Amino acid sequence: MRRLPDRVWRLPRQEDDEAADEGIGRILALSDGVFAIAITLLILEIAVPATTTDDGLPKALLGLWPRYLAYVVGFVVIARFWVIHRLAFRLIARDDAVLVWLNLLLLLFVAFLPFPTTVLGEHNGAPAAAVLHAASVILASLASAAYWWYASGPGGLLRPGVGRAQIRALRARSLSGPVSFALTLPIALFAPYVAEILWIFVFPLTRMVFIWFFADEPEQPG
């Protein structure tokens, strides 16, 4: 029954494959747009106070360093969701309404990330800022894991010939994000800067998890 409405959009048979590409194409166009804007809006939150004099400018610029750090953290976090999104959608061949809305759920949280990033830059010593940021990233990570779990599992939307090792590796990578952020939350409460530095390095860490899972099983031939 969940699949029923999708049947309506079926195009005449001979155009089906082309139409599938087109459908995925617009999902990627909207997603790349949201990723690009969310990543670029971060800079709007960095500003020198309007009352700064020319003489006070060097000090004011240096005093903004917590915002520069938050900018880099925010950029790396959003970029990472994009990198995983690109890898996952290379393996997805078709879409349905559930995938479209799970992907929109991810975009809802990705487009939200500039807000906690800003709060982190403005209130760099406040535990609440660290908790808000970590919670937002965890929600986005869960949405990221959800669309991949659906496409590779019940949805059955992958290209033919995608090995089980690849599917498991990308699942592990999706989940390593929320797990890492949950683990660093206690650190963020007491030493927010340490947590921010750790967050920048979550990427290499999850990459290692990913390689480890992959190595766990012999590669499937195409």
By C-alpha distance, which of 93, 207, 213 is closest to 165?
Answer: 213
| Closer of 89 and 149 to a copy of itself (Cβ) | 89
Asked if 139 is part of the footprint of a copy of itself (rule: CB under 8 A), the reply reads no
143 near a copy of itself, judged by CB under 8 A: no
Answer positive or negative: Cα dihedral of 7, 146, 171, 81: positive
Size of site (CB under 8 A) for a copy of itself: 82
- Of 159-188, binders to a copy of itself (CB under 8 A) are 159-162, 165-166, 169
Q: Hunting for tokens 């990723």 — which residue is that?
A: 35
**Stretch of 51-59, 138-146, 147-155, 193-201 contacting a copy of itself, by CB under 8 A:** 51-59
Which positions from 90 to 109 touch a copy of itself by CB under 8 A, shown as an x/- string? Answer: xx--------x---x--xx-
167's tokens: 């599917």
Contacting a copy of itself within 72-91 (CB under 8 A): 72, 75, 79, 82-83, 86-87, 89-91
Indicate the residue among 146 and 165 with the shorter CB distance to a copy of itself.
165
What is the Cα–Cα distance from 187 to 196, expressed in whole angstroms?
Answer: 10
**Residue 10 beta carbon to a copy of itself: minimum distance, rounded to whole angstroms:** 8
Contacting range for a copy of itself; rule: CB under 8 A; set: 114-122, 147-155, 180-188, 193-201? 114-122
Among 84, 92, 98, 119, binds a copy of itself (CB under 8 A): 119
Which is nearer to a copy of itself, 72 or 142 (by Cβ)? 72
Which residues ranging from 16 to 45 are in contact with a copy of itself (CB under 8 A)? 19, 22-23, 26-30, 32-44
Distances (CA, A) of 198 to 181, 193, 219: 9, 9, 32
Residues 6+ apart with CB under 8 A from 121: 45, 46, 66, 67, 69, 70, 71
The reply to whether 194 sits near a copy of itself by the rule CB under 8 A is no
Residue 113 in contact with residue 137, Cβ under 8 Å? yes
- Near a copy of itself by CB under 8 A: residue from 70, 73, 121, 122: 122
Comparing CA positions, the residue from 139, 152, 179 lying closest to residue 87 is 152
* Maximum Cα–Cα distance across the chain: 70
Q: List beta partners, residue 92.
A: 158
Contact 140, 101 (CB under 8 A): no
- Rounded to a whole number of angstroms, the minimum distance from the CB of residue 190 to a copy of itself is 14
